[in-house]
Amino acid sequence: MRTVSLLPARGGSKGIPNKNIAPLNGKPLIHYAIQASLNSESQETWVSTDNDEIKRVSIECGAMVIDRPAEISKDYSQSEETLLHFCDNVDFDILVFIQPTSPLLESAYIDRGIQMMNEYDSVFSVYKEHWVPRWTKEVNPDGWDANNRPMRQQMDEKYVENGAFYITKKDNLLQSKLRYSGNIGVVEMPLYKSFQIDTEEDLVLIGNML
């Protein structure tokens, strides 16, 4: 089974200009996810981008690059569009879709997911969340009763997608057009490894954690 990784990294970031190559502790952000992939059991590491500077940086970091068409590089373009474009151009059996904004991702978690593909059709990374009281924007209890507030120990724990990576079989991706489908498993990561870079404040926070 041929396993390859893909990092979608378009150039038009709104929150942080050129976010995918923003400096983080002296290295471009995408460097960390590329290294996690290169050090994993994935056989190839690819970056899909529409941006020449991201392309240059990705190659310097050791990845191969596929040019992302402009029509699937818009603000509201879905990641699945990029995954399907990759399917049409690169030969593989299992795809590891890695978010370049996951600098705390380690290769061991990717390897665990790849190994699980003997049992599952798709796998994705999560962290475990204990129950906390959530409120709507109208300041109403969201899914619980303020007159009968449950204890945390009474409530089921839940898995939360951390967005670090998704693994799926090519056949499943082509049939479902989704990043996960069929028999789905999860790779649990600790919360402190699950942070994504979305804002300048995130860069400062994660920089202090690296």
For the chain, what are the domain ranges? Answer: 3-127+159-209
Confidence bin at 102 (pLDDT 50/70/90):
very high
For residue 177, the 8-state DSSP code is: -
pLDDT at 162 > cutoff 90: yes
Residue 10 annotated as catalytic: no
Q: Is 194 helix (H, G, I), strand (E, B) or coil?
A: coil
Q: Do 4 and 43 touch, CB atoms closer than 8 A?
A: yes
Give the tokens for residue 7: 């990092």
Q: Which residues does 37 contact at the CB level (< 8 Å), separation at least 6?
A: 5, 7, 45, 63, 96, 98, 107, 110
pLDDT tens for each residue of 52-98: 999 999 999 999 999 999 899 888 889 999 999 999 999 999 999 99
1 CB neighbour count, 10 Å cutoff: 11
Res 76: pLDDT: 85
199 CB neighbour count, 10 Å cutoff: 12
Record: fold of 3-127+159-209: Spore Coat Polysaccharide Biosynthesis Protein SpsA; Chain A (3.90.550)
Q: Which of 10, 56, 112, 149 is catalytic?
A: 149
pLDDT tens for each residue of 19-34: 999 999 999 999 999 9
pLDDT tens for each residue of 117-153: 999 999 999 999 999 999 999 999 999 999 999 988 8
